[in-house]
Chains A and B, each alone.
Chain A
């Protein structure tokens, strides 16, 4: 495993060469993937790599560099390179590191690493992928083809050190199972997919469960039609609702706030959503993908209520956007390996409500249940929202037929106000999570 001390060495080297502050990130990762298709192994990938990144301040000038060469010569070259780019940057009065008093790490076991990932050998991993695909292929005779199934595993280490005395590191692991079946009816083909991912192998859903769910999602798309253009209630299933919640993150992250590039800028303390909307960012929840002991500037992760029953309570900030806004960092710094930190999230989710998805569907006389969104088309500056959608048409509280080749559109400002219900089905399948969401009205564009 990578020696965390290398990060401190790079920081000291930079300070010795004229930096007034420095921060260094090291990352090491091992990836494995087994892909099968039509009941046979197709691809095996197994490899690892390491990287180092450095950001230096020379007064208020900033420079960054990164390298895949972690030898002492490589680190020296990285330091020189970062100092060289700092020399051509402009003084930025807000450039700084977090204050020493803000630095630290959560203690205790956050369950980010589980050795059981490594206890499964390659033949067993391939078998898991084969079983997942088989479960999908044998679920329904209309599943006639497959884009395959895969088992992926990852283990990694992340180290961060800075010139204000911070040195921390943590290991992570993850594994996932997924399947992408293809169904045919006449000339028309449809595909969909399903997956399970977890930090521990023991928490992964079974191949049977993943494969069958993938098959169900695929088969129900067959026979899709277009619907006439109209305004109707729209239900986002828990998968597509995640992307909607992701749009809220884009609108509350500090960089877009200080640049006045968000429709939620200047709205702290104001009602921005219906009372059914409570959005939380929590980087401390054990075992989840959005959890870490400290952010990418060495500030401890925390729990922040972003929207409380419709009222905007907090933006999510790194130290830079906090200084720009005259606020304090919320421990949300994020970056790859180098460069100025951006803003990221911990586990960012919409709080669940009382009603089950089935109850929500039953309450809709005529509307759309969205199961897939494609394309961009979300403008966080204006809130304009227009995306390609696939789903099921609801008539009198029941699914009537599948729909595709349509778009749904509205403005996020109004959509947030129009959230009539958040479902009871909140699950953390990734670092953004949401239950099923019902929006009072959107424009569905079709024929």
Chain B
């Protein structure tokens, strides 16, 4: 697509000449590189609570971020006004980072080579009627209430966004993208008794989405009714749960969302900014064994319609499949442009940012472990005593020590090869470069998550995906309260 046909060309009459003049302004004090990130973001959020659509919000946000890189220094400024004088002013502020003659040999923009569209959504959810979208939360609410009489609170929320971006760089990249995103989430509370003061209430949460059209929520196992019933199932299962055990034991992770383990234990530690600074537990470990030979871990920003996927990253680079760990051996890091320049590598299409107000950094997209050849049932049968975790809340990692935690929201005891009783409040903790060495079985049932993930780093949130087959970890610390 040519610039003149793009969103910013059409709506704001931005020309290549304009972009070149802004980049020149940014580099007038010197510097090795400059880029512009134009963003127009339209968002909607609808939520139902107590069967009342209490909140409905629509918003628009527009702005441009200007970055100048000089050696390992970055200058950044932004403007929410796209008038030429305001963009030039932002460019001059960003330019303050550099001094000396410009080292950039500007050669004009190369034509956009990209042909693929990973999210060919003709009508983005944000462009459909509100009445159509509000039905999703109403249906979720009805289905959750009908599913079990022990459910006493239902909240369903739907959010979508449509982001138009234009990236122009002094090394000749000119990229545009249109990025739809939608998610539907259902949260329920259930309890056995119904008197006040009865505190056996338990929460269940489910949902899904991606870079999809609204028809996604009509497909099998993606409907509001499906997510509602799944949330209810989790809450009801937890009603009978006993406190989680404490101490080291075998842990079996179910397929899908438990892949958040990879995100925390491995993914963050492989982001190149941390490794450039040598502050990650994985620094200088390329080629070393950091996981069992059963483990191959991939970060892939090119999976069609996935929440973490992007046609181009937020620096205009084409996203790709990146092998992080191959048969247990550490193979690569995730690079943005700055890290790749400084480390003499190539960007892996991993430069992402929350908005035009933020500086890009290396981030994950969709992170998952390849399937192995074990039957998931055999994995359970082979475990004499352990914890089977099928759903998780969030996690966190200290990338320097490598220590991570993540909290299970649905887990069961495994006794003598059988899943027996539900337990609640289990927290798993381990050390990144060590934990995956104890993986002894990997199932053939790789599953990606439902499309709800949000990753936070240094105050910036970006949508991501995770995935994992059923895996068995022989030894991991479980933090509960029972002995």
Chain A contacts to B: CB under 8 angstroms:
37, 40-47, 49-51, 53, 62-69, 77, 81-82, 84-92, 95, 122, 145, 147, 182, 188-191, 221, 224, 226, 229, 259-261, 263, 265-266, 338-340, 372, 374-377, 379, 381-388, 390, 404-411, 443, 445-447
Contact = CB atoms under 8 A, between A and B. Distances in A.
Given A261-B201, A387-B405, A88 B427 contact: no
A87 B130 CA distance: 9
Given A375-B405, A405-B477, A92 B400 contact: no
B246 A390 contact: no
B54 A95 contact: yes
Nearest to A265: B196
A77 to B, nearest CB: 8
Contacts of B199: 263, 381-383
A382 B200 CA distance: 7
Given A77-B60, A387-B405, A445-B427, 14 more contacts: A43-B359, A46-B76, A47-B90, A63-B57, A84-B130, A145-B279, A229-B483, A340-B55, A376-B395, A381-B199, A386-B427, A404-B403, A406-B429, A409-B244
B480 A50 contact: no
A379 B60 contact: no
Given A88-B56, A89-B55, A376-B407, A68 B61 contact: yes
Contacts of A410: 481
B54 A92 contact: yes
B74 A90 contact: no
Contacts of B63: 49, 68
B479 A406 contact: yes
Contacts of A411: 481
Nearest to A82: B58
Interface in B359-414: 359, 393-398, 400-401, 403-407
Nearest to A86: B56
A374 B396 contact: yes
A46 B68 CA distance: 12
A361 B390 CA distance: 39
B405 A374 contact: yes
A229 B90 CA distance: 55
Nearest to A148: B277
Interface string B22-66: 000000000000000000000011101101111111111111000
B429 A407 contact: yes
A431 to B, nearest CB: 17
Contact of A49 (B59, B78, B403): B78
A421 to B, nearest CB: 22
Q: Which 3 pairs show the lowest CB-CB distances between chains A and B?
A: A407-B479, A388-B405, A375-B405
A266 B42 CA distance: 41
B79 interface: yes
B77 interface: yes
Given A85-B130, A260-B153, A388 B401 contact: no
Contacts of B277: 37, 145, 147
13 contacts: A45-B77, A47-B79, A64-B58, A82-B58, A88-B130, A145-B277, A374-B405, A381-B199, A382-B202, A386-B244, A388-B396, A390-B403, A407-B479
B312 interface: no
A388 B427 contact: yes
B167 interface: no
B182 interface: no
A372 B103 CA distance: 45
A339 B57 contact: yes
Contact of A65 (B57, B394, B478): B57
B274 to A, nearest CB: 8
A190 B400 contact: yes
B85 interface: no
Contacts of B200: 382
A259 B394 contact: no
B57 A338 contact: yes
B479 A188 contact: no
Contacts of B404: 374, 388
Contacts of B401: 188-191, 221, 224, 404
B55 A64 contact: yes
B426 interface: yes
B425 interface: yes
Contacts of B309: none
B59 to A, nearest CB: 4
B97 interface: yes
A372 B398 CA distance: 10
Nearest to A372: B398
B58 A47 contact: no
B400 A189 contact: yes
B80 A50 contact: yes
Contacts of A191: 279, 398, 400-401
B75 interface: yes
B93 interface: yes
A64 B57 contact: yes
Contacts of B131: 88
B93 A379 contact: no
B357 interface: yes
A407 B189 contact: no
Contacts of B80: 49-50, 68
Contacts of A91: 52
A319 to B, nearest CB: 14
